[in-house]
Amino acid sequence: MNELKNPFASEEITPAFNDEWQAKRRVAAAVRLLTEVLVTSSPDTSKMHDIAEQLETTAADFAASPRVYGRLDWIRSGEHGSYGQVSHELNPLAGYSNPLAPPVTTRIEGDVAYGHCFCGWAYEGPPGSVHGGYVAAIFDQFMGFAQKLGKRPGMTGYLHVDYHQRTPLTTDLQLEARITSAEGRKTFMEGKMYAGDALTASCNALFVEPRQGIYSLEAQARPEEVFSPPASDRG
Ligand SMILES: CCCCCCCCCCCC(=O)SCCNC(=O)CCNC(=O)[C@H](O)C(C)(C)COP(=O)(O)OP(=O)(O)OC[C@H]1O[C@@H](n2cnc3c(N)ncnc32)[C@H](O)[C@@H]1OP(=O)(O)O
């Protein structure tokens, strides 16, 4: 199987598909930095108006290039990579090319999935702590990719999060997930989030494979770009 085309492949082992995405990752990193600076500094008001004007000009320049809306459109031209590759770049939690993403990374070792992420001050909920909604979103993403441990990946049916203690900002957060059981199209999983040795949150999740299989979601794409898992992964 071509790992780079697998939408469930680890972010940690997935390089940018080409120079275009490498450059976009750089832009996204700059926007993340800008966001962090925005919420942690207070230049004088007139300077902020100047900055806003510069950014508006930059956004208008950027928008003058051809626009592409949605992953299926990104792959139709055949120039920007496969569905899996584009998903890796633009995923709102894990995509290096999407500045909304912290990003969350994943890797599989045996029957456990591991991941990590780092949330700056833009993610503050309770003082000095990650907003609970982001904790849940990080879990949803991480558990979704951790389904690679199983045979029938699907969509989140439910995600139950327990918040044990506040999750600190500007700290490397470690994630781990396991499959607890599987039954037909249903995969039950548990996940944990640690800051150092402290368990800050845990979750139980059910993923349900759509009746036509998860890969039916990308069947609207060009057939040669559709990722097809090896027979051994189909269960
Ligand atoms: C291309 C690659 C991209 C790969 C993308 C990479 C992965 C990233 C994933 C990130 C995770 C997400 O954000 S996913 C986005 C958030 N989730 C969603 O939008 C899902 C929206 N919901 C749905 O589409 C649907 O409800 C499904 C697919 C989850 C289930 O629909 P369905 O297939 O019609 O389900 P149905 O036949 O009714 O139920 C099947 C079995 O599951 C059980 N079941 C279903 N839902 C629930 C539930 N909430 N709680 C308990 N049990 C449930 C039923 O009781 C039944 O059990 P029994 O009677 O058989 O025992």
Note down the domain range covering 192.
Answer: 3-234
Q: What is the CATH number of the domain that holds 77?
A: 3.10.129.10
| Cβ–ligand 1 contact at 140 (below 6 Å) | yes
Q: Is 218 in the pocket of ligand 1 (CB under 6 A)?
A: yes
Which tokens in the block code for residue 204?
A: 């139980």
Whether ligand 1 lies within 6 angstroms of the CB of 204 is answered as no
User: Best of 187, 208, 220 to mutate for ligand 1, by most ligand atoms within 8 A of CB?
Assistant: 208
What's the 158 CA to ligand 1 centre distance in angstroms? Answer: 8
Please report the ipTM that was assigned to this predicted complex: 0.93
Query: Which pLDDT score, from 0 to 100, does residue 24 have?
Result: 96
Query: pLDDT value at position 23?
Result: 95
Ordered per-residue pLDDT tens for the chain, 235 residues: 344 455 565 555 567 888 999 999 999 999 999 999 999 999 999 999 999 999 999 999 999 999 999 988 898 888 898 888 888 899 999 999 999 999 999 988 999 999 999 999 999 999 999 999 999 999 999 999 999 899 899 999 999 999 999 999 999 999 999 999 999 999 999 999 999 999 999 999 999 999 988 777 766 554 444 444 544 444 3
Q: At what angle do helices 19-40 and 83-90 cross, to 10 degrees?
A: 20
Q: What is the pLDDT of residue 221?
A: 52
Our answer on whether the CB atom of 184 is closer than 6 Å to any ligand 1 atom is: yes
Give 86-153 as a DSSP string: HHHHH-TTT-TT-TT----EEEEETTEEEEEEE--GGGBSSTTBB-HHHHHHHHHHHHHHHGGGSSS-
Shortest-distance Cα residue to atom 29 of ligand 1:
157
Q: Write the DSSP assignment of 154-190 as a string of letters.
A: -EEEEEEEEE-SPPBSSSEEEEEEEEEEEETTEEEEE
Q: How many domains does the chain have?
A: 1
Q: Residue 129 forms beta bridges with which residues?
A: 168
Q: Whose CA is nearest to atom 26 of ligand 1?
A: 157
Q: Evaluate whether 175 touches 144 at the Cβ level (below 8 Å).
A: no
Q: What is the pTM of this model?
A: 0.90
pLDDT at 11: 54
